[in-house]
Chains A and B, each alone.
Chain A
Amino acid sequence: KAGVTQTPRYLIKTRGQQVTLSCSPISGHRSVSWYQQTPGQGLQFLFEYFSETQRNKGNFPGRFSGRQFSNSRSEMNVSTLELGDSALYLCASSPLSGGAVGELFFGEGSRLTVL
């Protein structure tokens, strides 16, 4: 069974640009979450989608947005990039629906560098 796939793995952007990251969850998983990982702040929750709806949102500015498609694939977008947006962006999928707790399966991340 294929794991969570994130593309691109590495990318370099300049301040003011925008970026779109893609995530393909494990087949059958309907919940997709996004996290930002930086050395200073660690892993921080961005948002979570289930059945194309954003169910949960973290404390990030409106420049960070996301969406989920009917096939559960998800994208996140960061507009007007800032130097501080340089980070590893991790996507995770979960097989459980509803309110049940469950294991998150993480991808290897997209490493964004903003110059």
Chain B
Amino acid sequence: GENVEQHPSTLSVQEGDSAVIKCTYSDSASNYFPWYKQELGKRPQLIIDIRSNVGEKKDQRIAVTLNKTAKHFSLHITETQPEDSAVYFCAASRPGSARQLTFGSGTQLTVLP
């Protein structure tokens, strides 16, 4: 089955700096890659997603890049703010009737004021 590895497990940045979180996946058939943000005690919330027919997607300060050949995708957050502090999860899904999400192990991002 699919396996998703996520790095780093913890990341501290100064407010205003950029943060990058990287994930690799094992199943070359995977074609959908969402990123979720989970604040302490709250539900995972989708922040951005990308499908395999595009290489990059941007939404304001957040961008995701996908390299299908290398089977890795990355989350980029620019101009970080304290409210960006949370755990970020990447996930992958392959085509099929259920399209279950396989998650990475998460990155605890701390933005220092």
- A and B, one complex? no
The chain B residues found within 8 Å of chain A, CB to CB, are none
